[in-house]
Structure formats: C-alpha cells, structure tokens
A and B are shown apart, each in its own frame.
Chain A
Amino acid sequence: MTVSPEQQRLLYRHLLLTRLLEERMVSLYRQGKMTGGLYRCLGQEATAVGTAFALEEEDLLIPVIRDLGSVLVRGARPADVLRQLLAKADGPSRGRDAFLHFCLPEKGLYSGIAMLGTAVPVLAGMVLADRFLGRRTVGMTYLGEGGTSTGAFHEGINLAGVQKLPLVVVLEHNGYSYSTPSGMQCAAATLADKAAGYGVASAIVDGNDLLAVVEAARAAVAHARAGRGPFLLECKTYRRKGHAEHDGQAYVDAEELAEWSRRDPIALFERQLDASGVMDAAARVAVRAEVDAELDAAVTEAEASPTPVPDPEFRGVRADEEEVVRRRRETFVGGLA
C-alpha cells in the first residue's frame, strides 16, 4: 500500500492547511477575537493528518486538542472551524462549546469532551453499534501521555479488546502533558506498552514522518477492519508550543525544543517530495497560494458571522422539553434582562 503521488500531493495540502489555519488562529487569538484558549499542534501536524488520511469515508473519528489536522482531513471547512473558535452563532456548536468540540456526523466526525480519555469507550460503543448494524466502520481517536493515564482509556481499550472492536487509538507521544514530562506521566518507556496488558496490538512510528504515519495507520486500520481487534498506534512527535497559548513553557529545555524544530514535519515532507520528484518547489508554492486564498476567505466569512443570541427559554438540552420549558418560563424569576 504505497502512497500514490496524487495522494501525496493531497496530503501536502492538508498538512499545509493545518499549519496555516493554525497561524490564522494565532493571529485571531492575539487580536483578542477568539473566545477561550488556543491549543496548538505546531510540529505534530503529520500525526493527525496522516492517521486520519488512512480512514475510509464511512469511518468515524473523535479528535482531541492537537488534532486540527484530522478534522480538516475529514472535510471540516476551515471557515466552520474558525466560526467555532470565534464562538459564532452559525458555528458547528452554535457557540455552546469550545475548540474542536463539535460534531459533523455526515463527515464521521464526533465530539469528545474535555475530560481526557472519555472518547475511547464512547467510540468503542459507536463501532460496536456499527458492527451490530452490519457496517464495517473503523473508529479512530487520539490521546496523549496524559490521556492514556486515565481510567476511561484503560477501561475503554480493555472493553474493545475483549469485544475485538475495530478501534484505532492514536497515542500522541509529544513529550508533555501540560507541564508534566512523559517520564513523570508513566513509568513505561513507550505508550504502546499499554497495549500488551490488554492483549491488544500496537506499533510505534515516527509521528513527524507523514508518509510513515500514513502507512502505519493504514496497517492499524486494516487490522481493526479485519476483525482482529483494537490497535494502539504510538506516534512519536513533539509539542513545540506550551499547553495553550498562555503557557510560556518555561519548563521546556531549549536544546530539546531546537532539536525538534529541526525535525519539522513539513520540512521533512518537502525534502521527501523533492527527492522523489512528486511535487517540486514551484508546485508547492502554488498550493500555498491556493491555501492562503482559501484561508483569507475563511477568516472573512467567519468574522462576518453573527454572535449567538441567548434563547430566553434556554432550549436544546433534551429533545422533549416543552413541559420543561413551560415550567422554566413560570419559575425562572426575572427572566432575561
């Protein structure tokens, strides 16, 4: 299963789109236009892009905070992602939730919650249902060193193991969990070690080498789809920014950071594209121009979107809520000003 030249060109576009969209987010954040925190994926884009690229259209994906790339590969529009970050009324969560917490079910994209690890059992249930319904769907989600410390992850992967569920959990080994270095998060040398205790298959790949990630993810997805049970794919990468933009990452060693900056996934892929002749510098510049134009339009579109207007009846919590709304109308003293 080699990655065809055409696929490589598409991958390059996804990779660049992820990087450049994040740059737009940073600028909106600095202008004070964003609501909430900004969690960056600089330097680890190849992991999210490459793994999501290995999925088929009918497959399912739940991202965590550094997986902007996976959301774009699934087909979320940059303008909609920006609307979400700007907490706009017509954003995918209509201003109700933050960042990558939104669902686009038609694109197989579902939302996690902030509590780390929760997506693993939920996605296990989604693919369990799909198998029951005769669909051959594979579910993919992501977790870092911190996330794989949680009980929810362990319970979820255990359940998926005994049920032989088609679930791929991408373990994003990026050096830190907030300020906590990997070695303080888990005594095991690798995250993939966690698979053995549950009788689950695993592999480790260089998360900054896009083509290697795609190939490893394809193997993991094939394993899951063949009914051989869940798969933990550890991608070794690095979080080059703080936990969120407010975090100046004073706890990070400058040498280490410099070393990983030299292993930038985009620069690496560009060298590979040069060597293989799949896409020359001129072609890449053309893609960049195209992506820039798309993002100019996306920013304009998102900024022009309306902000949400509070619903005086606070609907949307449950489907059948007329009765509840009626009571609320009677009892919510003062109502909205």
Chain B
Amino acid sequence: MNPPHAVVEVEGLRKDYTGEPPIRALREVSFTIVSNDFVAVTGPSGSGKTTLLALLGLLDEPTAGEYRLDGQDVSGLNDRRRAAIRAHKVGFVFQAFHLIDYRTVLENVQLGLMYQGVRRPQRISRSLEVIDHVGLRHRAQAPCSTLSGGERQRVAIARVLVREPSLILCDEPTGNLDSSNTDQVLMLLDQLHSDGMTIVLITHDPAVAHRANRRFEMTDGRLSEPVRAGHD
C-alpha cells in the first residue's frame, strides 16, 4: 500500500451563518487527515459536525480558513470548479440516503459516475460490480422505492464506491437504521477502510465511533481530538 499522504489539510477553518443573530457554527478549526484514516466525529447536537462535513465535501463555502484536498488548495474556488472536485474526489453517505425513488438501483448507482463524464456502458459494468459487492445483485433492476432502509443505505454506499473518491463523508449513515442493518452498513464501511479508503463519519453512537481509528470531538464549533489512537 502507498505510504500515507495528507488527504485533508485544514487550517483555521471558520463558518459563520449570517442571520439574526449570526451563528458561529465553526470556529478556527485545524487538523489533518491522512489517507486511510477512519475518523469518527462526535459531539452534541448543534455543535457544528454537519457544518464541518459540508465544508470538507465542498457543499458549502467557509467564511475563512485554508483547505487543501489531496494537496490541492480548494478554498475560494468558483461553483463550477467546486462541482468538478465534488464529482471526482468526494463521496457522500447521507442519513436520509438520497436515492432517486423512481429510478432503479442500477440507475442510482450509475448516477455516481454520470457527472464524471463516464460513458454509459462503462457506468453499467462498473455499477453492477459494486452492486454485487454490497450484496444487491438480485435487486439491481428494482426501483429504489421498493427497497428497505438497510438496502437503501447499501445502494448509497455502492454509489460512493463506484466513484472511487479520495474522501468518503458520512453524516450519521446509520441514524435511520435498526441494529441489524446498522451492523451491515458498518461492516461495509470497515471493508472500505481496510481497502484503503479515507473516511470521515459523523455519529452519535459510541459503538459506531468505536470502529474508527481516530475520534474528533466537536463542542460549540470547536474541534478536539481527545485520544489519538494509533493506525491499526
């Protein structure tokens, strides 16, 4: 395996939400995440976890601070270039799954490649591979509206997998799942981690956080890393 390199380098990252009163959701956060890190982010509600994830995934723009993703300075890019970086480097797993209900499993997974400009035949063959990998081959042509919650989240993970991103961001991926489905999803994430992927995962569940090799604690917009676990 490649020697670890910095995937995320954040320096003085800040996010204020304008409004009355303005909300300082993230205050001067700095950290580095290297390849094959599995970071669990925990903290009370409203502490700024999702805000941090939105900035790391270039879904939102910081008020101040530096951000290098894969060695490239991505702060201050325009919308087009941020879209391009999202398309190629970032994969998301959402608490709400975000599948397109009226489309099939295969089509939803393909969507992960569409904005990378990959041609349809390649999209289909690569998508079928990852659908197989998450154990949903038999449901490939099923409309997503017919899937269970656990199956949905596995489709969402397949959609991340097929993109081969540098960074996988998960916001409470098991928040809507029962314990057996939670286990299945966590096993898949573990597998991604052992395959060398870099993962940042927000969770309220200590058992889930326990699977990670690093743990960020957010309180009131500030980040701390209480125990620095070694790489496994």
A, B assembled together: no
Chain B positions within 8 Å of A, measured between CB atoms, are: none
